Amino acid sequence: MLTVTREKIFTRNSNPGVEDVNRAYQLAGLPIPNREHAIDSLVFNQPTTHEVAHELAQTALTATDPEKAYAAALEKIKNAIAADQLRTVYLAVSEGAHRDALPAVRDKAVKDLCKAFAKTVEQIHKASAALDSEDPFSLDLAIERDATREYKTLIAAISQLGTYASIHYTRFRQNVPGALAQVLSIVNIPDLEIELVERGYGGQVTRVINDTDTADTRTVRRLGEALERNTDKALVDIANGKYPNVTFELATNDDIERRIQQAANAGVQRTA
């Protein structure tokens, strides 16, 4: 039997920027939106003071009217110095403006990439159907089933989920397992009721009072535990519907804030 030591496939940037959004567009085979302003090229394509001074020094050597050449040189140097200063200030200001614009960039990406993302999820569902349900990432078992093509498709698709997840930065919060927080930009969970419990000796839970209203809460708690154990396998299980009311869906900025709050609810048991 062939033995393969496998590293985690799903990886993502927890603090992504616009470059990560662009990578998601490239993965989807879509053109990257042009987000540059017309003034950008004007500001950044002007020659620097050093470049202008070097050019003027070369010109001065062949000038037939030194005084006229000197006056023209001063004017050009003044403009070059002003352009350098403007470039420095504009760069600092525009970086902040680009950061402020990121939420809108991300929301547009969610709208543009939803079809490509859905295709990746469908690839996971179809490929895993041909593989072992308990260990779909076993190459040995894939070879036995003559399903190496599906195996490769699954590996690639799980990796692609990490690219899509990196559209958003990760919101970590108390009571939310880190592995669950990492996927909430691509995994939608329902609104969750906090469990109200009665406790007995030693603080052990003896009864969940609102048991009938908290099935989804326990499902998401179970999902968080599964993601901590094996993120890749849990993602396959989500694609195959093994966690009721948990689905793959790219998150807008508002969506991800709601999801992290609901995930936090799953981690709380309130004593009545």
Q: What pLDDT digit, counting tens, does each position of 175-216 carry? A: 899 999 999 999 999 999 999 999 988 888 889 999 999 999
Q: What is the pLDDT of residue 176?
A: 93
A 10 A CB-CB count for 110 gives 22
Give the per-residue pLDDT at 88: 79
CA distance 271 to 181: 25
Distance CA 220, CA 260 (A): 12
Q: What is the pLDDT of residue 123?
A: 98
Give the C-alpha distances (Å, rounded to integers) separating 261 from 115, 255, 265, 266: 26, 10, 6, 9
- Give pTM, 2 decimals: 0.78
Distance in angstroms (rounded) separating the CA atoms of residues 195 and 49: 67
Low-confidence ranges of the chain (pLDDT < 70): 1-6, 36-41, 43, 90, 93-98
Find the Cα–Cα–Cα–Cα dihedral 77, 78, 79, 85, rounded to 10°. 110
Please give the sequence-ordered ranges of beta strands (E in DSSP) within the chain, or none if there are none.
Answer: 187-188, 195-199, 205-208, 247-248, 269-271
What is the average pLDDT value for the chain, to the nearest integer? 89
Task: For residue 148, give the amino acid letter.
Answer: T
Q: Give pLDDT, residue 98.
A: 64
Spell out the residues 6+ positions from residue 204 whose beta carbon is closer than 8 angstroms to its own: none
Give the C-alpha distances (Å, rounded to integers) separating 213 from 192, 216, 246, 267: 9, 8, 16, 15
26-28-31 Cα angle (round to 5): 50
